[in-house]
Amino acid sequence: MRSVKHEFAGRRTVTAAVRKLLDTLDEMSDTEKQEVTAEVLRRAHHLLSPELPEEALVAAAEELFLDLDKREVALAPRGR
């Protein structure tokens, strides 16, 4: 089976299967997203390397917080 890559957030490419999973995640409620996140982390904990470079963690955190900031701005009530 050929793996087709899709651009994700303008920075990374992901396979069609990952894109489908992420699209489904986008459609979920926050409670469902929390359930999925916890379950994925539980199932994939063995994949996490204790030797993950600090720079990678900082970059991932920065990307996450920038995305959360954008969402917060988008959801903020507009002043009249």
pLDDT in tens, 5-46: 455 555 568 899 989 999 999 999 999 998 998 888 888 877
Residue 74 has pLDDT above 70, yes or no: yes
80 domain-assigned: no
13 domain-assigned: yes
Tell me how many domains the chain contains.
Answer: 1
| Enclosing domain of residue 45 | 5-75
16 domain-assigned: yes
Residue 64's pLDDT band (boundaries 50, 70, 90)? confident
25 domain-assigned: yes
35 domain-assigned: yes
DSSP 48: S
Cross-strand bridge partners of residue 7: 13
Residue 3 has pLDDT above 70, yes or no: no
61 domain-assigned: yes
Residue 68 has pLDDT above 90, yes or no: no
